[in-house]
Amino acid sequence: MDSEMLYLNGEFMPLSEGRIGVEDRGFQLGDGVYEVIKVMNGHLVWLEDHLTRLVRNMGEISLAHALSGHDLQAVLPELVARSEVDHGSVYVQITRGYAPREFVFPHPPHPTVVAYARSKPAPTDEEILAGTTLHPVEDLRWARCDIKTTNLLPAVLAKEEARNAGADEALFVAADGVVREGGSSNVFALLRGVLRTHPLSNRILAGVTRKHVIEFAHREGYGVEERAFTLAEVTTESEPECEVFSASTTKDVTPVVRIGSHTVGNGRPGRVTLALLDVMRREQALLVGLEPPAPLS
């Protein structure tokens, strides 16, 4: 699209004109962190949460000062406006920048700061209600999954494996059967009437959507526990009332209807899942000045 604009190290330009050196550490070493922020009605949704996580993650990789001179609070809305994005997302990436290739940090670093906005239509109600499918893979990622790093090869391979298996998303499962999270989503299960999701730890990303879902669930009076569940628990026939959903910035709350070859619950989006999605859609609509959509539940 012609209007796609890039913010690169302090300057706005058409996305197609952006150039980054071959020895950028993001390209050669995956030495960077990123964020994806939802855009609705031209507004950035939950921007504060994303910027807080970005700054935290920059600290975790010793890149704390990379954003000095970049006021993302102002830059990102300007980028969305310049790109004329109504619905879609903004991608932000900070790397340790350009330096002759060495593993150890360059001193001083010259970080690369990149952001661009892209349009993507919201899913239709029919698409949401069709649900999504997960493909379990062993979680072979590193032990700092709490950092949203651009080192995404394990997720790339897992998602490709999921696609080849006919599923929409990978489901990272630990060797002991504990469900951690999706390839790029957090995962919740309703088991015996209680909503559960993996607790925050080094094994999962602290999803912004996850945080809000937990808040909504508390507010709506659902039992919620940040307590892991196993793959066996959500794939046994004895749990007909079981619901599973994924939660992420780009896909909101998405009902899961199949995991591997197993049909979840009755194979249709669950009642609690849809109720939480309705709350989320209403909240987000209010935040960005839109009329709340008709409920799905």
Q: Which residues are catalytic?
A: 148
When binding is defined by CB under 6 A, the residue of 95, 248, 254, 284 that contacts ligand PLP is: 248
Give the shortest CB-91-to-ligand PLP separation in angstroms.
11
Nearer to ligand PLP, 99 or 128 (CB): 128
CA distance 187 to 275: 16
Give the shortest CB-87-to-ligand PLP separation in angstroms.
16
Q: Which helix (H) or strand (E) holds 258?
A: strand 252-259
- Per DSSP, the three-state class of 281 is helix
When binding is defined by CB under 6 A, the residue of 31, 181, 233, 243 that contacts ligand PLP is: 181
Nearer to ligand PLP, 36 or 157 (CB): 36
Q: With helix as H, strand as E and coil as C, how does 71-136 read?
A: CHHHHHHHHHHHHCCCCEEEEEEEECEECCCCCCCCCCCECEEEEEEEECCCCCHHHHHHCEEEEE
Residue 209 near ligand PLP by CB under 6 A: yes
When binding is defined by CB under 6 A, the residue of 93, 133, 149, 186 that contacts ligand PLP is: 186
Report whether 147 contacts 141 (CB < 8 A).
no
Nearer to ligand PLP, 181 or 278 (CB): 181
Could you give the C-alpha distances from 134 to 184, 193, 283, in angstroms and in order? Answer: 12, 22, 27
Give the shortest CB-142-to-ligand PLP separation in angstroms.
12
Longest CA–CA span in the chain (Å) reads: 59
β-pairing verdict for 169-173 and 32-40: unpaired
Window 29-58: residues binding ligand PLP (CB under 6 A): 36
Give the shortest CB-258-to-ligand PLP separation in angstroms.
20
10 Å CB burial of residue 175 (0-12, 13-18, 19+) is exposed
Nearer to ligand PLP, 98 or 172 (CB): 172
Nearer to ligand PLP, 9 or 150 (CB): 150
Number of residues binding to ligand PLP, judged by CB under 6 A: 13
Q: What is the separation of C-alpha 44 from the centre of its chain, rounded to a whole number of angstroms? A: 14
Window 118-147: residues binding ligand PLP (CB under 6 A): none
Q: Which stretch binds ligand PLP (CB under 6 A): 20-28, 105-113, 230-238, 241-249?
A: 241-249
Give the shortest CB-11-to-ligand PLP separation in angstroms.
27
Nearer to ligand PLP, 95 or 185 (CB): 185
Each residue 160-179 as x (binds ligand PLP by CB under 6 A) or -, in order, gives --------------------
Token duo for residue 189:
């299960």
DSSP calls for 31-64: -EEEEEEEEETTEETTHHHHHHHHHHHHHHTT-T
Residue 284 near ligand PLP by CB under 6 A: no
Give the shortest CB-164-to-ligand PLP separation in angstroms.
20
CA distance 232 to 49: 33
Token duo for residue 1:
């699209």
Window 52-111: residues binding ligand PLP (CB under 6 A): none
Report whether 6 contacts 53 (CB < 8 A).
no
Residue ranges that bind ligand PLP, judged by CB under 6 A: 36, 181, 184-186, 205, 207-210, 247-249
